[in-house]
Amino acid sequence: MKPLRCVAIVGVGLIGGSIGLALRRRKLAARVVGAGSRPATLAAALHTGAITEIAADVASAVADAELVIVCAPVDHIVEQVRAIARACPAGTLITDAGSTKQQIVDELERYATSDATWPAEVAFVGSHPLAGNEKKGPQHASATLFEQRTVVVTPTSKSKPTNVSRLHEFWSALGAKVLEMSAAEHDRAVALTSHLPHLAAAAIAGTTPEQFLNLTAGGWLDTTRIAAGDPSLWRQIMLANRGNLLPALDALLTQLAAWRQALDTQDGVELERLLTEAKRIRDSAGS
């Protein structure tokens, strides 16, 4: 990617901060302007070099930006992107980093076509970098967070191919593998690969009596690790994708019923079949 003159990052926590660090490390942006609601977070991001300047407000952050990345909790993305679009110069591409896509993409497409304050030459195309973890804040940001990670880009039939290409190039330039799919397809898949594991990890942690925590080891710690994620962010994600998460949870409950049946009837053959099938899938996914 040809280095950008000015990129704005709205929300400089783990994801936004890591985008800034990667852009600077890879010399992909002369200016990285940060905006956000918490002065201490912005100061920390400036201190670590994730951004080159702090904007007084979102409008001034994006006033000169070729690309804007909105790294906000999913419930705030639509409203933030709408406010940002009004302040952008012609030609600006806006994207996000939200864990759910359909609701965000659908609403923004409606606004972009029907809202008179949305400038004709400003576009939004959704992104989801599959690179978060249980930590938060710019102090955990890393210039290598996106290397070899998947970023899903979710254009619609109305997205201009040049904007989709710009977004591909951007995430690829940060080291990511870019996948393109519809927002609906994305949400269906991540309900099973991200939101359901989060729910299950939290349910396992919630099932563990505290007096037994001294008997936990690597297995429990790995299996429940993401349950340490931010409860408010995850409430928003789960509710935004509940249409896909509910059937995913029902699929897990069906699986668990088969495990329960095998245990209850002491069916060692079936138990080993279930364990073997799980191992086969897990082994094919990497470490």
If one asks whether residue 29 binds its own copies (CB under 8 A), the answer comes out as no
Tokens of 127: 């992104």
Q: Does 197 bind its own copies (CB under 8 A)?
A: yes
Q: Which residues pair with 179 in a beta bridge?
A: 152
Among 23, 131, 178, 183, contact with its own copies (rule: CB under 8 A): 131
If one asks whether residue 200 binds its own copies (CB under 8 A), the answer comes out as yes
CB 152 within 8 A of CB 130: yes
Instruction: Return the axis-axis angle of helices 242-264 and 183-190, rounded to nearest 10°.
Output: 30
Rule CB under 8 A: choose which of 1, 59, 184, 271 binds its own copies. 271
Measured CA distances, 223 to 17, 163, 203, 219, 227 (Å)? 27, 39, 11, 6, 9
User: How many residues make contact with its own copies (CB under 8 A)?
Assistant: 85
Contact 236, 76 (CB under 8 A): no
Residue of 2, 114, 117, 218 interacting with its own copies (CB under 8 A)? 218
Beta bridge partner(s), residue 94: 68, 124
Q: Which is nearer to its own copies, 173 or 201 (by Cβ)?
A: 201
Confirm or reject binding of residue 184 to its own copies (CB under 8 A). Answer: no
User: Of 25, 44, 130, 159, which one interacts with its own copies (CB under 8 A)?
Assistant: 130
Cα 210 → chain centroid: 31
263 is a contact residue toward its own copies (CB under 8 A):
yes
Query: Whole-number minimum distance, CB 227 to its own copies, in Å?
Result: 4
244: nearest Cα among 99, 135, 45: 99
Q: Quick count: other Cβ atoms within 10 Å of Cβ 136? A: 18
Q: Between 56 and 217, whose beta carbon lies closer to its own copies?
A: 217
Direct distance between the N- and C-terminal alpha carbons of the chain, in angstroms, rounded to an integer: 30
Measure CA 277 to chain center: 29
Find the binding residues for its own copies in span 50-109 (CB under 8 A): none
* Shortest Å, Cβ 142 to its own copies: 12
Piece of the chain touching its own copies by CB under 8 A; list 7-15, 59-67, 102-110, 124-132:
124-132
Q: Does 39 bind its own copies (CB under 8 A)?
A: no
Q: Is there binding between residue 249 and its own copies (CB under 8 A)?
A: yes
